[in-house]
Amino acid sequence: MAASTHPIFEYALALGDDALVLGQRIAEWCSNGPYLEEDIALSNVALDYIGRARMLLSYAGEAEGQGRNEDQLAFTRDCRDFRNLLIYELPRGDFGFTMARQLAVDAFEVPFFEALTRSSDRTLAGIAGKALKESRYHLRHSSGWVIRLGAGTDESHRRMQDGLDQVWGYTPELFQMDAAEAALAESGVAVDRAELRQQWESTLDEVLKQATLGRPADDWQIDGGRRGVHTEHLGHLLSELQFMQRAYPGLEW
Partner 1 sequence: MVSWTPPAEGAAEEVWNWLAAVKDPEIPVLTIADLGILRQVTMDGDHCVVTITPTYSGCPAMNTIEQDVLSVLAEHNVEATVETLLDPPWTTDWMSEDGRRKLEAYGIAPPAETSASKRAIWGEDPTVCCPRCKSESTRKVSEFGSTACKALYQCQDCQEPFDYFKCI
| List of residues contacting partner 1 (CB under 8 A) | 23, 37-38, 40-41, 44-52, 54-55, 122-123, 125-127, 129-134, 136-137, 139-141, 144
The minimum distance between CB 238 and partner 1, in angstroms, equals 20
- Return the number of the residue (45 or 104) whose C-beta is nearest partner 1: 45
- Return the number of the residue (61 or 169) whose C-beta is nearest partner 1: 61
The minimum distance between CB 234 and partner 1, in angstroms, equals 22
- Return the number of the residue (134 or 173) whose C-beta is nearest partner 1: 134
Contacts of 237 (CB under 8 A, 6+ apart): 21, 24, 25, 89
Angle among Cα 28, 177, 182 to the nearest 5 degrees reads 130
CB atoms within 10 A of CB 197: 15
The minimum distance between CB 128 and partner 1, in angstroms, equals 9
- Return the number of the residue (42 or 90) whose C-beta is nearest partner 1: 42
- Return the number of the residue (133 or 209) whose C-beta is nearest partner 1: 133
- Return the number of the residue (125 or 151) whose C-beta is nearest partner 1: 125
The minimum distance between CB 217 and partner 1, in angstroms, equals 28
- Return the number of the residue (140 or 236) whose C-beta is nearest partner 1: 140
The minimum distance between CB 191 and partner 1, in angstroms, equals 17
The minimum distance between CB 48 and partner 1, in angstroms, equals 5
DSSP the chain: ------HHHHHHHHHHHHHHHHHHHHHTTTTTSSSHHHHHHHHHHHHHHHHHHHHHHHHHHHHHTSS--HHHHHHS--GGG----HHHHS---SHHHHHHHHHHHHHHHHHHHHHHTT-SSHHHHHHHHHHHHHHHHHHHHHHHHHHHHHTS-HHHHHHHHHHHHHHHTTSGGGG---HHHHHHHHTTSS--GGGGHHHHHHHHHHHHHHTTPPPPPS------GGGT---THHHHHHHHHTHHHHHSTT---
